[in-house]
Amino acid sequence: MDMDRRRLLALGAGAAVAAGVTGAAPTAQATGTTTGTSGVPSDAALARRLGLRSKYAKGQHYVIGGHGEPLVLLPGWPQTWWSFNKILPALAKRYTVIAVDLRGMGGSAKPADGYDKKTMAADVYNLVRHLGYDSVNIAGHDIGAMVAHSFAVNHRAATRKLVLMDVGHPDPSLYDLPLLVRPGQGFSLWWFAFNQVQGLPEKLITGRSRHIVDYFMDAFPPDPSAIDELSRRVYAHAYAGPDAIRAGNAWYQGFHQDVVDFAGYGKITAPFLGLTSEYSYESNLAVWSGQGTDVRVHKVPGTGHFLAEENPQAVISELTTFLG
């Protein structure tokens, strides 16, 4: 598979103002011990396993703990904050970690609109200020990387250092994606088109989200066992209902506005580390090198897309070296 196709694949393996997203109450998943008959531990129970605390504020569910400089972690599709479970305990020894469920994700609010990445970044900014921080380190994966990029350019004074994992911000190249990929010339990004459809995905996926989760967790990592059974159940549960499916798809439907916003963004001025799978290194290096004033791009060995779960020790090492 050529590098450009690999980069496009990595892009997605994944407006109301942010201050208005305050009306929704935390879900049972965020506050209880188990949810329904799924047998999936709640976010609170999962957080306790890691020595962290599950919280809710400004319309967003987040998990927090540790000591030191603040480090905000933003996950992607089809996952939740739990995608950082293998790196959070180690990072919490050096930083105050804040793993956030984005607008529409997990225990966070799922409003009708506001899924462009600029608005989602404003959500995160409002949460950061609510927690009492003027500035934070911020790291994102997949959709979370898009939001982290937007955070860094729209809230420059609030950004100490930035880490993007395997995905960049939507840009006009999205419109060049082929509907059909010729045999042997890449991997079809079928979910980009599927997630643009309104109404139908909810009907097809509700109650069947485990099939979506298993597809991606089996297709991308060189070793699919890196995403274990508990994690797969957590993700499937998070996207099991029609509202969650609608909201997750809205991140993709927001790409059109994201491309418009991107055209007006300047370079990232905060120190910027890009972490990529081995497959997408060359293409991400070419793209990211021109998007910041202080950029370094490193491979995470043995990974396909889910870097923090496939090679957590390498990600921990990269983060702690970069953040200091």
CB 110 within 8 A of CB 243: yes
Are the C-beta atoms of residues 169 and 150 closer than 8 Å to each other?
yes
| CATH number for 126 | 3.40.50.1820
Tens of pLDDT, residue by residue over 246-300, are 999 999 999 999 999 999 999 999 999 999 998 899 989 999 999 999 999 999 9
Give the residue from 174, 129, 175 showing the smallest Cα distance to 151: 129
Quickly list DSSP for 59-72. Answer: TEEEEEEESSSEEE
Range of the domain at 228: 3-323
> Annotated active-site positions, please?
142, 252, 305
Cis bond leading into 111, ω under 30°?
no
pLDDT digits over 8-57, tens only? 444 433 322 222 333 334 444 444 444 444 689 999 999 999 999 999 99
Helix, strand, coil content of the chain in percent (nearest 5): 45, 15, 40
Domain count, the chain: 1
